[in-house]
Protein backbone atom coordinates (compact mmCIF):
# COMPACT_ATOMS: atom_id res chain seq x y z
CA UNK A 1 0.00 0.00 0.00
CA UNK A 2 1.06 3.57 -0.68
CA UNK A 3 1.25 5.97 2.24
CA UNK A 4 1.13 9.76 1.83
CA UNK A 5 2.24 12.21 4.51
CA UNK A 6 1.49 15.91 4.15
CA UNK A 7 4.14 18.04 5.84
CA UNK A 8 3.64 21.73 6.53
CA UNK A 9 6.45 24.14 7.41
CA UNK A 10 5.34 27.18 9.36
CA UNK A 11 8.70 28.80 8.65
CA UNK A 12 8.33 28.69 4.87
CA UNK A 13 4.55 28.68 4.64
CA UNK A 14 4.77 25.76 2.20
CA UNK A 15 3.57 22.19 2.36
CA UNK A 16 5.05 19.18 0.66
CA UNK A 17 4.32 15.48 0.48
CA UNK A 18 6.33 12.40 1.28
CA UNK A 19 5.02 9.28 -0.40
CA UNK A 20 6.23 5.84 0.61
CA UNK A 21 5.31 3.97 -2.54
CA UNK A 22 4.35 0.30 -2.46
CA UNK A 23 7.23 -0.44 -4.86
CA UNK A 24 9.73 0.59 -2.17
CA UNK A 25 10.51 4.01 -3.66
CA UNK A 26 10.34 7.19 -1.56
CA UNK A 27 8.77 10.09 -3.47
CA UNK A 28 8.74 13.78 -2.55
CA UNK A 29 6.32 16.24 -4.12
CA UNK A 30 6.77 19.96 -3.48
CA UNK A 31 3.79 21.82 -5.04
CA UNK A 32 4.48 25.31 -6.42
CA UNK A 33 1.14 26.69 -7.55
CA UNK A 34 1.08 28.75 -10.74
CA UNK A 35 4.69 27.89 -11.62
CA UNK A 36 5.11 27.11 -15.32
CA UNK A 37 8.23 24.99 -14.92
CA UNK A 38 8.17 21.47 -13.52
CA UNK A 39 11.12 19.39 -12.39
CA UNK A 40 11.76 15.74 -11.62
CA UNK A 41 14.94 14.11 -10.33
CA UNK A 42 15.30 10.35 -9.85
CA UNK A 43 18.37 9.39 -7.85
CA UNK A 44 20.13 6.40 -6.36
CA UNK A 45 22.49 6.33 -3.39
CA UNK A 46 25.35 5.16 -5.60
CA UNK A 47 28.40 7.10 -6.66
CA UNK A 48 32.07 6.80 -7.50
CA UNK A 49 33.14 5.90 -3.95
CA UNK A 50 30.98 2.75 -3.93
CA UNK A 51 33.54 0.55 -5.66
CA UNK A 52 33.47 -2.24 -3.04
CA UNK A 53 30.22 -3.55 -1.59
CA UNK A 54 28.33 -6.53 -0.25
CA UNK A 55 24.69 -7.51 -0.58
CA UNK A 56 22.75 -9.05 2.34
CA UNK A 57 25.95 -9.83 4.20
CA UNK A 58 27.50 -11.76 1.31
CA UNK A 59 31.01 -11.59 -0.08
CA UNK A 60 32.56 -8.21 -0.79
CA UNK A 61 32.66 -7.40 -4.50
CA UNK A 62 35.28 -5.02 -5.91
CA UNK A 63 34.45 -3.32 -9.21
CA UNK A 64 36.50 -1.06 -11.53
CA UNK A 65 36.85 2.61 -10.62
CA UNK A 66 34.50 4.86 -12.59
CA UNK A 67 31.76 2.28 -13.05
CA UNK A 68 28.98 4.37 -11.46
CA UNK A 69 29.65 7.17 -13.95
CA UNK A 70 29.93 4.65 -16.79
CA UNK A 71 26.58 3.15 -15.81
CA UNK A 72 24.97 6.59 -15.86
CA UNK A 73 26.12 7.07 -19.46
CA UNK A 74 24.79 3.68 -20.54
CA UNK A 75 21.34 4.06 -18.94
CA UNK A 76 20.16 6.47 -21.62
CA UNK A 77 20.73 3.83 -24.28
CA UNK A 78 17.62 1.62 -24.48
CA UNK A 79 16.83 -1.36 -26.69
CA UNK A 80 14.17 0.77 -28.41
CA UNK A 81 16.10 4.02 -28.83
CA UNK A 82 17.84 6.85 -27.02
CA UNK A 83 16.10 8.19 -23.89
CA UNK A 84 17.52 11.68 -24.53
CA UNK A 85 15.72 11.78 -27.88
CA UNK A 86 12.49 10.54 -26.31
CA UNK A 87 12.61 13.35 -23.75
CA UNK A 88 13.36 15.89 -26.47
CA UNK A 89 10.22 14.82 -28.31
CA UNK A 90 8.12 15.86 -25.30
CA UNK A 91 9.95 19.18 -25.03
CA UNK A 92 11.72 18.19 -21.82
CA UNK A 93 15.33 19.11 -21.08
CA UNK A 94 16.90 15.91 -19.71
CA UNK A 95 20.25 15.38 -18.04
CA UNK A 96 22.09 13.22 -15.51
CA UNK A 97 25.10 13.35 -13.23
CA UNK A 98 27.25 11.13 -11.06
CA UNK A 99 28.89 12.48 -7.93
CA UNK A 100 30.99 10.82 -5.26
CA UNK A 101 27.98 9.22 -3.58
CA UNK A 102 24.92 9.49 -5.82
CA UNK A 103 23.72 9.20 -9.42
CA UNK A 104 20.71 11.20 -10.58
CA UNK A 105 18.59 11.46 -13.73
CA UNK A 106 16.48 14.56 -14.22
CA UNK A 107 14.44 16.75 -16.50
CA UNK A 108 12.72 20.12 -16.58
CA UNK A 109 9.68 20.93 -18.68
CA UNK A 110 6.74 23.27 -19.03
CA UNK A 111 4.38 20.91 -20.85
CA UNK A 112 3.82 17.16 -21.11
CA UNK A 113 5.13 16.46 -17.62
CA UNK A 114 3.36 13.12 -17.36
CA UNK A 115 4.84 11.83 -20.63
CA UNK A 116 8.33 12.96 -19.58
CA UNK A 117 8.02 11.36 -16.15
CA UNK A 118 6.97 8.08 -17.74
CA UNK A 119 10.06 8.16 -19.95
CA UNK A 120 12.31 8.88 -16.94
CA UNK A 121 10.87 6.09 -14.82
CA UNK A 122 10.95 3.70 -17.75
CA UNK A 123 14.55 3.99 -18.92
CA UNK A 124 16.07 4.14 -15.42
CA UNK A 125 14.33 0.86 -14.61
CA UNK A 126 15.26 -0.83 -17.91
CA UNK A 127 19.02 -1.44 -18.29
CA UNK A 128 20.36 -2.52 -21.66
CA UNK A 129 24.03 -3.39 -22.03
CA UNK A 130 25.84 -5.35 -24.74
CA UNK A 131 29.53 -6.06 -25.36
CA UNK A 132 29.45 -3.83 -28.43
CA UNK A 133 27.81 -0.82 -26.79
CA UNK A 134 29.97 -1.08 -23.66
CA UNK A 135 33.18 -1.10 -25.70
CA UNK A 136 31.96 1.84 -27.78
CA UNK A 137 31.39 3.89 -24.63
CA UNK A 138 34.98 3.33 -23.47
CA UNK A 139 36.28 5.65 -26.17
CA UNK A 140 33.73 8.36 -25.34
CA UNK A 141 34.41 8.28 -21.60
CA UNK A 142 38.14 8.01 -22.23
CA UNK A 143 37.96 11.35 -24.04
CA UNK A 144 36.01 12.81 -21.09
CA UNK A 145 38.69 11.59 -18.65
CA UNK A 146 41.44 13.19 -20.73
CA UNK A 147 39.43 16.42 -20.85
CA UNK A 148 39.28 16.50 -17.04
CA UNK A 149 43.00 15.72 -16.88
CA UNK A 150 43.48 18.99 -18.79
CA UNK A 151 41.32 20.97 -16.35
CA UNK A 152 43.38 22.82 -13.70
CA UNK A 153 40.28 23.28 -11.49
CA UNK A 154 39.63 19.53 -11.56
CA UNK A 155 43.28 18.61 -10.96
CA UNK A 156 43.79 21.03 -8.07
CA UNK A 157 40.79 19.47 -6.26
CA UNK A 158 41.80 15.84 -6.77
CA UNK A 159 45.39 16.62 -5.85
CA UNK A 160 44.05 18.00 -2.57
CA UNK A 161 41.89 14.93 -2.01
CA UNK A 162 44.85 12.62 -2.67
CA UNK A 163 46.81 14.62 -0.09
CA UNK A 164 44.04 14.34 2.48
CA UNK A 165 43.03 10.70 2.04
CA UNK A 166 45.21 7.60 2.18
CA UNK A 167 42.69 4.81 1.49
CA UNK A 168 39.26 6.27 0.79
CA UNK A 169 38.17 6.19 -2.89
CA UNK A 170 36.99 9.82 -2.72
CA UNK A 171 40.51 10.63 -3.95
CA UNK A 172 39.84 8.74 -7.24
CA UNK A 173 38.44 10.63 -10.22
CA UNK A 174 34.67 10.14 -10.50
CA UNK A 175 35.07 8.92 -14.09
CA UNK A 176 37.89 6.53 -13.14
CA UNK A 177 40.95 6.15 -15.35
CA UNK A 178 41.40 5.04 -18.95
CA UNK A 179 42.84 1.79 -17.56
CA UNK A 180 40.02 1.14 -15.05
CA UNK A 181 37.15 1.71 -17.50
CA UNK A 182 38.79 -0.72 -19.93
CA UNK A 183 37.97 -3.43 -17.37
CA UNK A 184 34.21 -2.68 -17.38
CA UNK A 185 31.98 -5.39 -18.86
CA UNK A 186 28.20 -5.80 -19.25
CA UNK A 187 28.34 -8.27 -16.35
CA UNK A 188 29.90 -5.66 -14.05
CA UNK A 189 27.30 -3.10 -15.12
CA UNK A 190 24.35 -5.41 -14.54
CA UNK A 191 25.75 -6.44 -11.15
CA UNK A 192 26.09 -2.82 -10.00
CA UNK A 193 22.73 -1.89 -11.51
CA UNK A 194 20.75 -4.60 -9.73
CA UNK A 195 22.55 -3.86 -6.47
CA UNK A 196 22.17 -0.08 -6.30
CA UNK A 197 19.27 0.70 -8.66
CA UNK A 198 16.85 -1.00 -6.29
CA UNK A 199 13.89 1.32 -5.63
CA UNK A 200 14.43 0.93 -1.88
CA UNK A 201 17.83 2.59 -2.41
CA UNK A 202 16.42 5.41 -4.56
CA UNK A 203 14.34 8.58 -4.32
CA UNK A 204 12.15 10.55 -6.72
CA UNK A 205 11.63 14.26 -6.11
CA UNK A 206 9.27 16.42 -8.16
CA UNK A 207 8.41 20.10 -7.87
CA UNK A 208 5.97 22.33 -9.72
CA UNK A 209 2.26 22.96 -10.11
CA UNK A 210 1.36 19.32 -9.40
CA UNK A 211 -0.86 17.28 -7.10
CA UNK A 212 -0.05 13.99 -5.34
CA UNK A 213 -2.56 12.12 -7.50
CA UNK A 214 -0.75 13.36 -10.64
CA UNK A 215 2.45 11.68 -9.53
CA UNK A 216 0.90 8.62 -7.89
CA UNK A 217 -0.99 7.72 -11.02
CA UNK A 218 2.24 7.48 -13.01
CA UNK A 219 4.17 5.85 -10.16
CA UNK A 220 1.56 3.09 -9.81
CA UNK A 221 1.71 2.52 -13.55
CA UNK A 222 5.49 2.58 -14.03
CA UNK A 223 7.26 1.44 -10.86
CA UNK A 224 8.20 -2.21 -10.55
CA UNK A 225 8.18 -3.48 -6.92
CA UNK A 226 11.62 -4.38 -5.57
CA UNK A 227 12.61 -6.67 -2.74
CA UNK A 228 14.54 -4.73 -0.12
CA UNK A 229 18.16 -5.77 0.41
CA UNK A 230 20.91 -4.69 2.78
CA UNK A 231 23.59 -2.90 0.75
CA UNK A 232 26.86 -2.27 2.54
CA UNK A 233 29.58 -0.16 0.97
CA UNK A 234 32.98 -1.30 2.17
CA UNK A 235 35.86 1.10 2.78
CA UNK A 236 39.35 0.52 4.11
CA UNK A 237 40.13 2.11 7.47
CA UNK A 238 40.98 5.76 6.96
CA UNK A 239 43.25 7.53 9.46
CA UNK A 240 42.31 10.91 10.87
CA UNK A 241 45.65 12.37 9.77
CA UNK A 242 46.22 13.72 6.26
CA UNK A 243 48.67 12.05 3.86
CA UNK A 244 50.47 15.19 2.63
CA UNK A 245 50.37 18.81 3.74
CA UNK A 246 51.37 20.27 0.38
CA UNK A 247 51.00 19.22 -3.27
CA UNK A 248 52.00 21.31 -6.28
CA UNK A 249 51.52 20.87 -10.02
CA UNK A 250 52.43 23.00 -13.01
CA UNK A 251 49.79 23.98 -15.55
CA UNK A 252 49.40 26.53 -18.36
CA UNK A 253 47.37 28.99 -16.25
CA UNK A 254 47.76 32.74 -15.88
CA UNK A 255 47.13 32.80 -12.12
CA UNK A 256 47.92 30.15 -9.46
CA UNK A 257 44.96 28.13 -8.15
CA UNK A 258 44.62 26.59 -4.73
CA UNK A 259 42.44 24.19 -2.77
CA UNK A 260 42.88 24.04 1.01
CA UNK A 261 41.18 21.13 2.76
CA UNK A 262 40.69 20.54 6.49
CA UNK A 263 40.11 16.84 7.07
CA UNK A 264 37.80 15.54 9.80
CA UNK A 265 37.10 12.12 11.19
CA UNK A 266 34.42 10.56 8.98
CA UNK A 267 30.93 10.54 10.49
CA UNK A 268 27.24 10.82 9.61
CA UNK A 269 26.05 14.39 10.10
CA UNK A 270 22.61 15.43 11.32
CA UNK A 271 20.48 18.49 10.55
CA UNK A 272 21.89 20.53 13.43
CA UNK A 273 25.51 19.91 12.45
CA UNK A 274 24.79 20.62 8.78
CA UNK A 275 23.30 24.01 9.68
CA UNK A 276 26.15 24.88 12.05
CA UNK A 277 28.72 24.01 9.38
CA UNK A 278 26.87 26.10 6.78
CA UNK A 279 26.92 29.06 9.15
CA UNK A 280 30.65 28.58 9.77
CA UNK A 281 31.23 28.55 5.99
CA UNK A 282 29.31 31.82 5.66
CA UNK A 283 31.12 33.37 8.63
CA UNK A 284 34.53 32.60 7.19
CA UNK A 285 34.18 32.98 3.45
CA UNK A 286 31.35 35.34 2.54
CA UNK A 287 32.25 38.69 1.00
CA UNK A 288 31.11 40.33 4.25
CA UNK A 289 33.48 38.29 6.46
CA UNK A 290 36.56 39.71 8.16
CA UNK A 291 38.71 36.98 6.56
CA UNK A 292 37.55 37.86 3.07
CA UNK A 293 38.35 41.53 3.72
CA UNK A 294 41.85 40.69 5.00
CA UNK A 295 42.63 38.47 2.02
CA UNK A 296 41.15 40.98 -0.42
CA UNK A 297 43.01 43.93 1.11
CA UNK A 298 46.23 41.93 0.83
CA UNK A 299 45.39 41.20 -2.83
CA UNK A 300 45.64 37.46 -2.09
CA UNK A 301 42.23 36.50 -3.52
CA UNK A 302 39.68 37.57 -6.09
CA UNK A 303 35.98 36.86 -6.56
CA UNK A 304 36.68 33.18 -7.21
CA UNK A 305 37.34 32.62 -3.47
CA UNK A 306 34.92 30.07 -2.03
CA UNK A 307 34.41 27.62 0.81
CA UNK A 308 32.17 24.60 1.25
CA UNK A 309 31.54 21.77 3.65
CA UNK A 310 32.38 18.59 1.77
CA UNK A 311 30.93 15.37 3.14
CA UNK A 312 29.54 11.99 2.16
CA UNK A 313 29.98 8.27 2.72
CA UNK A 314 33.17 8.05 4.74
CA UNK A 315 34.53 11.60 4.27
CA UNK A 316 34.07 15.01 5.93
CA UNK A 317 36.08 18.17 5.31
CA UNK A 318 35.97 21.94 4.92
CA UNK A 319 37.39 23.06 1.58
CA UNK A 320 38.59 26.51 0.52
CA UNK A 321 39.34 27.29 -3.11
CA UNK A 322 40.23 30.15 -5.40
CA UNK A 323 42.90 31.97 -7.38
CA UNK A 324 45.77 33.68 -5.58
CA UNK A 325 49.06 35.28 -6.55
CA UNK A 326 50.50 33.68 -3.38
CA UNK A 327 48.52 30.56 -2.37
CA UNK A 328 50.87 29.65 0.52
CA UNK A 329 50.47 33.08 2.10
CA UNK A 330 46.69 32.97 1.55
CA UNK A 331 46.51 29.53 3.23
CA UNK A 332 48.51 30.75 6.22
CA UNK A 333 46.23 33.76 6.60
CA UNK A 334 43.17 31.46 6.47
CA UNK A 335 44.68 29.20 9.16
CA UNK A 336 45.63 32.15 11.38
CA UNK A 337 42.12 33.54 11.13
CA UNK A 338 40.58 30.15 11.98
CA UNK A 339 42.83 29.73 15.03
CA UNK A 340 41.93 33.22 16.23
CA UNK A 341 38.23 32.51 15.72
CA UNK A 342 38.45 29.20 17.60
CA UNK A 343 40.32 30.87 20.46
CA UNK A 344 38.17 33.99 20.89
CA UNK A 345 34.80 32.78 19.59
CA UNK A 346 32.45 34.36 17.09
CA UNK A 347 31.07 37.85 17.62
CA UNK A 348 27.29 37.85 18.04
CA UNK A 349 26.80 40.40 15.26
CA UNK A 350 28.83 38.29 12.82
CA UNK A 351 26.86 35.20 13.80
CA UNK A 352 23.52 36.90 13.18
CA UNK A 353 24.65 38.10 9.75
CA UNK A 354 25.81 34.60 8.78
CA UNK A 355 22.66 32.96 10.12
CA UNK A 356 20.46 35.36 8.15
CA UNK A 357 22.50 34.64 5.03
CA UNK A 358 22.05 30.85 5.39
CA UNK A 359 18.35 31.23 6.11
CA UNK A 360 17.88 33.72 3.27
CA UNK A 361 19.68 31.46 0.79
CA UNK A 362 17.44 28.56 1.79
CA UNK A 363 14.24 30.61 1.43
CA UNK A 364 15.29 32.08 -1.92
CA UNK A 365 16.12 28.57 -3.21
CA UNK A 366 12.44 27.69 -2.78
CA UNK A 367 11.65 29.99 -5.70
CA UNK A 368 13.25 27.47 -8.07
CA UNK A 369 11.73 24.05 -8.76
CA UNK A 370 15.21 22.77 -9.68
CA UNK A 371 16.71 23.89 -6.37
CA UNK A 372 13.78 22.41 -4.45
CA UNK A 373 14.05 19.03 -6.15
CA UNK A 374 17.81 18.84 -5.67
CA UNK A 375 17.61 19.90 -2.02
CA UNK A 376 15.01 17.24 -1.22
CA UNK A 377 17.19 14.54 -2.79
CA UNK A 378 20.34 15.71 -1.03
CA UNK A 379 18.66 15.85 2.38
CA UNK A 380 17.01 12.46 1.91
CA UNK A 381 20.33 10.79 1.16
CA UNK A 382 21.78 12.62 4.19
CA UNK A 383 18.93 11.12 6.27
CA UNK A 384 17.73 14.63 7.12
CA UNK A 385 14.11 15.80 7.01
CA UNK A 386 13.56 19.07 5.13
CA UNK A 387 11.20 20.55 7.73
CA UNK A 388 13.68 19.70 10.50
CA UNK A 389 16.48 21.31 8.50
CA UNK A 390 14.48 24.55 8.21
CA UNK A 391 13.75 24.53 11.95
CA UNK A 392 17.40 23.93 12.80
CA UNK A 393 18.41 27.05 10.88
CA UNK A 394 15.88 29.15 12.76
CA UNK A 395 16.83 27.64 16.14
CA UNK A 396 20.61 27.70 15.71
CA UNK A 397 22.43 29.63 18.46
CA UNK A 398 25.76 31.39 18.76
CA UNK A 399 26.73 28.99 21.55
CA UNK A 400 26.16 25.89 19.42
CA UNK A 401 28.19 27.29 16.50
CA UNK A 402 31.07 28.23 18.81
CA UNK A 403 31.02 24.68 20.19
CA UNK A 404 31.02 23.25 16.67
CA UNK A 405 33.94 25.49 15.73
CA UNK A 406 36.05 23.91 18.48
CA UNK A 407 35.56 20.47 16.88
CA UNK A 408 36.32 21.30 13.23
CA UNK A 409 38.91 23.08 11.07
CA UNK A 410 42.00 21.54 12.67
CA UNK A 411 44.74 23.67 11.13
CA UNK A 412 47.32 20.95 11.86
CA UNK A 413 45.38 18.50 9.69
CA UNK A 414 45.08 20.40 6.42
CA UNK A 415 46.28 19.86 2.85
CA UNK A 416 47.15 22.69 0.48
CA UNK A 417 47.01 21.88 -3.23
CA UNK A 418 48.46 24.44 -5.65
CA UNK A 419 48.46 24.76 -9.42
CA UNK A 420 51.24 27.08 -10.56
CA UNK A 421 51.78 28.61 -14.01
CA UNK A 422 54.45 26.76 -15.97
CA UNK A 423 56.30 29.93 -16.82
CA UNK A 424 56.59 30.81 -13.11
CA UNK A 425 58.16 27.42 -12.37
CA UNK A 426 60.74 27.99 -15.18
CA UNK A 427 62.01 31.31 -13.81
Residue 132 reports pLDDT greater than 80: yes
Which of 233, 255, 285 is at the close of a domain? Answer: 233
Q: CB-hemisphere CA count at 13 Å for 245?
A: 7
Same domain, 210 and 79: yes
Same domain, 160 and 257: no
Same domain, 91 and 209: yes
111 located within any domain: yes
241 located within any domain: no
Answer for the pair 107, 95: CB distance below 8 angstroms, yes or no: yes
Same domain, 174 and 74: yes
Residue 269 reports pLDDT greater than 60: yes
Same domain, 181 and 274: no
Same domain, 188 and 293: no
Residue 84, SS3 per DSSP? helix
Rounded CA-CA distance 107/283 in Å is 34
Which of 233, 268, 286 is at the close of a domain? Answer: 233
239 located within any domain: no
Mean pLDDT, the chain, integer: 94
238 located within any domain: no
353 located within any domain: yes
182 located within any domain: yes
Residue 424 reports pLDDT greater than 60: no
At residue 209 the predicted structure's pLDDT band, cuts being 50, 70 and 90, is very high
Same domain, 270 and 223: no
Domain that holds residue 402: 246-426
393 located within any domain: yes
Answer for the pair 50, 101: CB distance below 8 angstroms, yes or no: yes
**DSSP β-bridge partners for residue 302:** none
Report the predicted TM-score, pTM, of the whole model to 2 decimal places.
0.94
376 located within any domain: yes
Same domain, 304 and 192: no
Same domain, 15 and 145: yes
Check 6, 72, 248, 349 and give the catalytic one.
72
C-alpha 299 chain-centroid distance? 31
Same domain, 17 and 156: yes
At residue 294 the predicted structure's pLDDT band, cuts being 50, 70 and 90, is very high
Catalytic-residue membership of 132: no
At residue 318 the predicted structure's pLDDT band, cuts being 50, 70 and 90, is very high
Residue 427 reports pLDDT greater than 80: no
CATH number at residue 362: 3.30.830.10
Count of domains for the chain: 2
pLDDT above 90 covers what percent of the chain?
87
> Tell me: the pLDDT tens digits for 372-387?
999 999 999 999 999 9
Amino acid sequence: MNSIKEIYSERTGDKYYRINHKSGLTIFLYPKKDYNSKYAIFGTRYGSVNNAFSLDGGEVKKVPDGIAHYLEHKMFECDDGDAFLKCAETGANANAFTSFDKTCYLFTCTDKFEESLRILLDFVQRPYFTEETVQKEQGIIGQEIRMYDDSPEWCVMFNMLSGMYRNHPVQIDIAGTVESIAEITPEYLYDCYYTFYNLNNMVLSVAGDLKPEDVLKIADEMLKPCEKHEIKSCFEDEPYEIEKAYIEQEFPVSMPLFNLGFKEKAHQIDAGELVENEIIVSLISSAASALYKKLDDSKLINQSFDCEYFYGQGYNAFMFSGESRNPVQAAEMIKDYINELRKNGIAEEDFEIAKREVYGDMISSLNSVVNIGNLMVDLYFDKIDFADYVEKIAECTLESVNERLKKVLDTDNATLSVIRPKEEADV
